[in-house]
Structure 1
Amino acid sequence: MKHLKKVLIGLVVASTIIACKNEKGKQNSEPIENNAVLSTEKPGAEDQKIGFQKTLSLQDITFDIKTTGEGSIQQLSIQPKGLELDNQEIVLEIDGEVINAEIEDLNSDGFPEILIYTISAGSGGYGDVIGYSANNGKSLSQIYFPEISENKEAGIGYMGHDEFAIIETTLVRRFPIYKDGDTNNNPTGGTRQIEYKLKDGEASRLFVINKISEY
């Protein structure tokens, strides 16, 4: 009888030791599992590299503008605030980079336009304008900016290297003029300046060339 009791006590002690070891093993393994999960997480949008960032306000409407990503393809984000109906973020993919952004009431209707200037990747730096107009302060609509090739006079000798600026209510574009035989880093034809005015089109607002000058 005594021998049987000793055997039973021994089995209980052994079971307790094994259970403690298993529980300790579980506790030690948990941090490893957590670390494995953390190491495989992908970086969120907030961890992406910001290339350009600017906040502009006019007539109680604000735009937060930023680009994220690396390389020639970037994500452009435009977050409006203060519109009556639609303040949804606008996200675009651009080939190149944003060099500046400006805000102005270009058609003097009491509501702002936002213009974002971009240049393409590469040595040419071909310029473009991404524009949005506030429709009576309620929502945004995109402004059409014409390709320079649409106007024969404007496009002669054009090889990029654009500069943009708003002067009063006019969008001004300047670039060097290239003659036949000019290298990319040595234009010899002077400078062309194009002045654009914002007009109401059939489908949307658009920029129309108002004046072309050279010097």
Structure 2
Amino acid sequence: MNFSGMFTFLCLFLLLCFASCKSDNNTENVQVESSPISDSLSLPLNINEEVFKKNLSTKDMNISITSKGANDLKHLELAVKKNASDKSYSKAIQYDGTILDAVTADLNSDGKDEVYVFNQSAGSGSYGMLIAYQYNGSKLDSISMDELSEELSQKYLGHDSFAIEKKHLYRFFPLYNEMDPNCCPTGGRMKLKYDLVKKPTGLKLILNSFINEQ
């Protein structure tokens, strides 16, 4: 083989080697880019996760109560309408803790039903919270509740529960003596009875009576 032939052969050989190396590099890059994401990666908690849902019906309205979120980012939506074709009136409330239940009642016998949502706050105290509204046909009116008096507050450390019996709302909580740990109240149980009364500022649950159930 003369010098010209050898030079041509050498050029072809180098060209083939270069093409082979470039092809290998491209294949390697594709493999890296297409590798799957590890299942062990932690994902953020879905703040839209549903944690409470209940539908209630009375002769005058349909109520939908839905709670979503996590930790202190929970949102409660209370939606009320007369029938399926009627406009829906709703309230959005941010809260913490746990929704225990939701009920309807007409405690003041005015022919308009109220909605009561019972909540227990997060933490060791589990303080009771009442979310209450009355539907007047065109909007939702909030219902407030008497604050605990100084006398009742002295032995109060949360752990409330609520119930509706006939035309009254009842609130219960354990009584703590001075040295009681949070886990172990020794003072009995307080039972409070409330009436729903219309005030100039709106509807309010007024304390009617209370008794220490030993």
Q: What band does the TM-score fall into relative to the shorter chain?
A: 0.7 to 0.9
Distance 2:75 2:188 in 1: 34
The yes-or-no answer on 1:210 pairing with 2:208 is yes
How far apart are residue 209 of structure 1 and its match? 0.1
Deviations 1:136-192 (A, max 9, x none): x332200012332xx123323000001101101100000100000000010000000
3-state secondary structure, aligned to 1:92: strand
Using the size of structure 1 for normalisation, the TM-score is: 0.73
| Alpha-carbon distance in structure 1 between the residues aligned to 2:155 and 2:76 | 30
Write the letter of the residue equivalent to 1:100: D
Task: Quote how far apart the aligned CAs of 1:107 are.
Answer: 0.9
Correspondence for 1:123 = 124
Aligned match of 2:134: 133
Query: Could you report, residue by residue, the CA deviation over 1:16-66 in whole angstroms, capped at 9, with x for unpaired residues?
Result: xxxxxxxxxxxxxxxxxxxxxxxxxxxxx9x82111111111122111001
Task: Give yes or no for contact 1:154–1:194 (8 Å, CA) kept in 2.
Answer: no
Aligned length: 168
Separation of aligned partners in 1, 2:70 and 2:164: 28
Larger Rg: 2
Tell me the distance in 1 between the aligned counterparts of 2:196 and 2:151: 20
Q: Give the equivalent residue in structure 1 for 2:48.
A: 48
> Deviations for 1:123-146, whole angstroms, at most 9, x for unmatched residues?
1100010100122x3322000123
1:1-215 to 2 correspondences below 5 Å: 48-82=48-82, 87-135=88-136, 137-148=137-148, 151-215=149-213
Deviates more, 1:86-95 or 1:191-200: 86-95
Inter-partner Cα distance in structure 2 for 1:166 and 1:159: 22
Contact 2:89 2:138 in 1 (8 A): no
Q: Tell me, yes or no, if the aligned pair for 2:65 and 2:79 is still in contact at 8 Å.
A: yes
Matched-pair contact (CA < 8 Å) for 1:97–1:120: yes
SS in 1 for 2:151: helix
- 2:58 partner letter: L
Gap regions ≥5 residues in structure 1: 1-44
Name the amino acid aligned to 1:163. S
Runs of at least 4 residues off by over 3 Å: 83-86
TM-score by length of 2: 0.73
RMSD of aligned Cα (Å): 2.1
Letter in 1 for 2:121: S
Shift of 1:88: 2.4
Indicate the percent of aligned positions where both proteins have the same amino acid. Answer: 33
Q: Is residue 117–residue 164 contact of structure 1 (8 Å, CA) maintained in 2?
A: yes
Query: Which protein is richer in helix relative to its size?
Result: 1
Matches of 1:144 and 1:210, distance apart in 2: 15
Amino acid at match of 1:73: L
Structure 2: stretches of 5+ with no match in the other structure: 1-45
Preserved CA contact (<8 Å) 2:146 2:207: no
Closer, same or farther in 2 for the Cα pair 1:205/1:179, shift >3 Å? same
Q: Describe the SS at the equivalent of 2:89.
A: coil
